[in-house]
């Protein structure tokens, strides 16, 4: 079982791998359009407040669970407490699988857009035209499915390579590259004529539009972006050595993740306003506005290809994390062969990804709770199972592990006692209360 477990090779390696899991479509594709749908500046502030309070604290809590048990999410709860707690692990593993199946569809789009940047077919400055090209593509019954298949194959391929050399090595050079190109794009977007309005929308809070829905969206986005509430960080924590630092690494991962989201917002939203599009356009926002910017840039095709390629890679390091949650369960609990599990889960993921992709086109008539399959999977995981998982992790670490968790946190981290107390207070009181309030009100349960 856990005796010959692989481990990260260094603190930096872990930070980059965990940041690789955190930074993905959530930051660059999902964050800008969710911000656009939720009114801009106020959402950004609420989101950041949640990321650095509840998000960071939960990240620490999950890493503690993983590092102290050196086990998969279900096994970790079994080892620490037993009873009904392992159900939290099982829910996480199921959530990871469900997210993976729609995540790979969107990630497939980024692969397609990398190719289409080179062929030039998407680089048109007229927004309506880019929009209809995008819609024609995602509703096509075949083309996106091919790309989804390729993406899943890549994910499985990395997973076959294992933890340290595969995941860690890829993240080491991809994360800096992504950062750099984002900076170039921020500069281009902010210098567009009319960018100021978008900048104001993104940075000037207008709290009059804030509702429980806004809070739920911010909480869901914070969890999704930091890969919380579904076992991924428990899993990555389980590849830490027993006395590796947790606190500093968690802060670094959170900072990197938030920075990439803010940069993505600074790229997309000013451009949306400069081109006269609506910020609440939904999931197509990144795929529609960026090609228009690229079309007007010197070497636009090159930048476009580079951007979508890097986005695909960012998505890849996240998808690998999602798949890892499922793999580690079967390896740790069932002593299964890692490679076999990776292949089988890959096939099953594809089987769910196909209807998810088709739900945007020819199968859009089949709905669950008024949503097509892809939207329903997104809603169910982001707004229900991830916050619920986060809530239960907070209760578990704050109330069941209690002092043991505090001892785990200071083991390996030089951290000021006041911060330890703050963390414990957030995990015991703030996070559970806030999550319950937001879940109950956001879902309209009372």
- In the complex, the residues that contact ligand PHE under the rule CB under 6 A are 21-22, 24-27, 99, 224-225, 227, 230, 232, 318, 321-322
Least distance from C-beta 68 to ligand PHE, angstroms? Answer: 20
Least distance from C-beta 248 to ligand PHE, angstroms? Answer: 20
Which of 227/249 has CB closer to ligand PHE? Answer: 227
Distance of alpha carbon 203 from alpha carbon 148, whole angstroms? 35
Distance of alpha carbon 342 from alpha carbon 333, whole angstroms? 15
* Residue of minimal Cβ distance to ligand PHE: 26
C-alpha closest to that of 207 among 35, 442, 46, 30: 46
Which of 26/412 has CB closer to ligand PHE? Answer: 26
Q: How many helices (H) and strands (E) does the chain have?
A: 22, 0
Least distance from C-beta 99 to ligand PHE, angstroms? Answer: 6
Alpha-carbon torsion angle 276, 279, 283, 284, nearest 10: 10
Which of 73/300 has CB closer to ligand PHE? Answer: 73
Q: Supply 21's token pair.
A: 């899991």
Q: Identify whether the C-beta of residue 232 lies closer than 8 Å to the C-beta of residue 96.
A: yes
Which of 258/322 has CB closer to ligand PHE? Answer: 322
Least distance from C-beta 47 to ligand PHE, angstroms? Answer: 13
Distance of alpha carbon 171 from alpha carbon 159, whole angstroms? 13
Q: What letter would DSSP give residue 240?
A: S
Q: Identify whether the C-beta of residue 383 lies closer than 8 Å to the C-beta of residue 218.
A: no
Which of 236/275 has CB closer to ligand PHE? Answer: 236
**Phi and psi, residue 317, nearest 5°:** -65, -25
Least distance from C-beta 343 to ligand PHE, angstroms? Answer: 20
Which of 59/195 has CB closer to ligand PHE? Answer: 59
Q: Identify whether the C-beta of residue 285 lies closer than 8 Å to the C-beta of residue 272.
A: yes
- Residue 142 burial class via C-beta count within 10 angstroms: exposed 0-12, middle 13-18, buried 19 and up: exposed
Q: What letter would DSSP give residue 336?
A: -
Least distance from C-beta 170 to ligand PHE, angstroms? Answer: 15
Distance of alpha carbon 11 from alpha carbon 436, whole angstroms? 34
Distance of alpha carbon 192 from alpha carbon 204, whole angstroms? 19
Least distance from C-beta 318 to ligand PHE, angstroms? Answer: 4
Least distance from C-beta 208 to ligand PHE, angstroms? Answer: 29
Which of 112/326 has CB closer to ligand PHE? Answer: 326
Which of 24/73 has CB closer to ligand PHE? Answer: 24
């Amino acid at each position: 079982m856990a005796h010959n477990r692989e481990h990260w090779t260094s603190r930096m390696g872990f930070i980059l791998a965990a940041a690789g899991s955190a930074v993905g479509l959530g930051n660059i594709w999902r964050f800008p359009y969710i911000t656009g749908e939720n009114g801009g500046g106020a959402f950004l502030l609420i989101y950041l407040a949640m990321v650095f309070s509840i998000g960071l604290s939960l990240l620490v809590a999950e890493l503690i669970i993983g590092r102290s048990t050196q086990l998969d999410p279900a096994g970790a709860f079994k080892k620490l407490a037993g009873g009904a707690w392992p159900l939290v692990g099982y829910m996480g593993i199921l959530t990871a699988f469900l997210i993976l199946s729609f995540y790979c569809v969107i990630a497939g789009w980024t692969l397609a857009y990398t190719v289409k940047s080179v062929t030039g077919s998407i680089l048109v400055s007229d927004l309506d035209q880019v929009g209809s090209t995008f819609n024609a593509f995602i509703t096509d019954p075949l083309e996106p499915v091919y790309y989804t298949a390729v993406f899943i194959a890549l994910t499985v391929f990395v997973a076959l390579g294992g933890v340290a050399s595969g995941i860690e090595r890829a993240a080491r050079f991809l994360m800096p590259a992504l950062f750099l190109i984002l900076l170039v794009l921020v500069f281009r977007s902010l210098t567009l004529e009319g960018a100021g309005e978008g900048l104001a929308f993104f940075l000037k809070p207008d709290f009059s539009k804030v509702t429980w829905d806004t809070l739920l969206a911010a909480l869901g986005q914070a969890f999704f972006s930091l890969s919380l509430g579904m076992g991924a960080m428990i899993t990555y924590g389980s590849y830490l050595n027993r006395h590796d630092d947790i606190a500093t690494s968690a802060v670094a991962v959170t900072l990197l993740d938030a920075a990439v989201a803010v940069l993505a917002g600074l790229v997309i939203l000013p451009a949306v306003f400069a081109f006269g599009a609506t910020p609440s356009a939904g999931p197509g926002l990144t795929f529609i506005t960026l090609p228009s910017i690229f079309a007007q840039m010197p070497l636009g095709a090159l930048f476009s290809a580079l951007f979508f390629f890097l986005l695909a890679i960012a998505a890849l390091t996240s998808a690998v994390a999602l798949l890892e949650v499922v793999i580690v369960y079967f390896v740790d609990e069932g002593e299964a062969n890692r490679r076999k599990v990776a292949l089988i889960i890959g096939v099953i993921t594809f089987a769910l990804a196909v209807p998810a992709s088709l739900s945007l086109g020819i199968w859009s008539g089949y709905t669950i709770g008024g949503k097509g399959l892809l939207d329903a999977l997104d809603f169910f995981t982001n707004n229900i199972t991830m916050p619920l998982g986060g809530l239960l992790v907070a209760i578990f670490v704050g109330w069941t592990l209690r002092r043991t968790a505090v001892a785990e946190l200071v083991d390996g981290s030089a951290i000021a006692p006041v911060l330890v107390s703050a963390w414990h207070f957030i995990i015991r009181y703030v996070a559970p209360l806030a999550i319950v309030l937001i879940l109950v009100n956001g879902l309209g349960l009372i």
